[in-house]
Amino acid sequence: MRGIRGAITVDTNTAEDIINSTRRLLSEIINENHIQQEEIVSIIFTATEDLDQEYPAVAAREMGYNNVPLLCLQEMNVTGSLSSCLRVLIHINRNCSLSDIKHVYLKEAKRLRPDLVNNVKKGRLS
C-alpha cells in the first residue's frame, strides 16, 4: 500500500470553487500516478477552517468514486499556516517504490512541500 499526498488552495469559499478545486487536485494526482479506481483504498481530505461551504468528498463522488471510502476533516489551525487550503491523502494498493509516487501540490499550496513540487512533470502545475 502507498499513500499519495496533494494540496491546492481555493480562491473563494463557495461550494462551486471547493468542488472544482478538489476535482482538479484529484484529477492531477490520478493522472500523474496512473491510478485505476480499483486501486484506491481510501481518500482522506482536510480543509482549513475558512473553507466551510462544501465537503471536498462531494467532488470525488461526482467523479464516480462512489464505492471508495472518503473522509473529510478540518485541518489543524496553526498560526501562520496556509489558508484556504484543501489537502488530500490517497491510499492505493500498489507495490511500487516510494520514488515512483508523484505527490501533487497546486497553486499556493506548492509552498507546503517545495521538495516535492518538482516530483511532477514541469508544466503541469499552476
The reply to whether 24 belongs to the active site is no
The reply to whether 105 belongs to the active site is yes
The reply to whether 72 belongs to the active site is yes
Of 2, 5, 23, 24, catalytic:
5
- 90: β partners: 4, 43
The reply to whether 49 belongs to the active site is no
Measured distance CA(16)–CA(21) in Å, rounded: 8
Of 54, 55, 85, 105, catalytic:
105
By CB neighbour count within 10 A (0-12 exposed, 13-18 middle, 19+ buried), where does 83 fall? middle
Answer whether 26's CB lies under 8 Å from 63's CB: yes
Residues near 90 by Cβ (< 8 Å), separated by ≥ 6?
3, 4, 6, 26, 29, 35, 40, 42, 43
Of 49, 61, 62, 124, catalytic:
61
Q: Is 105 annotated as a binding residue?
A: yes
Answer whether 26's CB lies under 8 Å from 42's CB: no
Of 23, 72, 94, 108, catalytic:
72
Of 75, 85, 94, 96, catalytic:
75
The reply to whether 2 belongs to the active site is no
The reply to whether 96 belongs to the active site is no
The reply to whether 111 belongs to the active site is no
- Write out the catalytic residue numbers: 5, 61, 72, 75, 87, 105, 113
What residues are designated binding site for prephenate? 5, 87, 105
What residues are designated binding site? 5, 87, 105
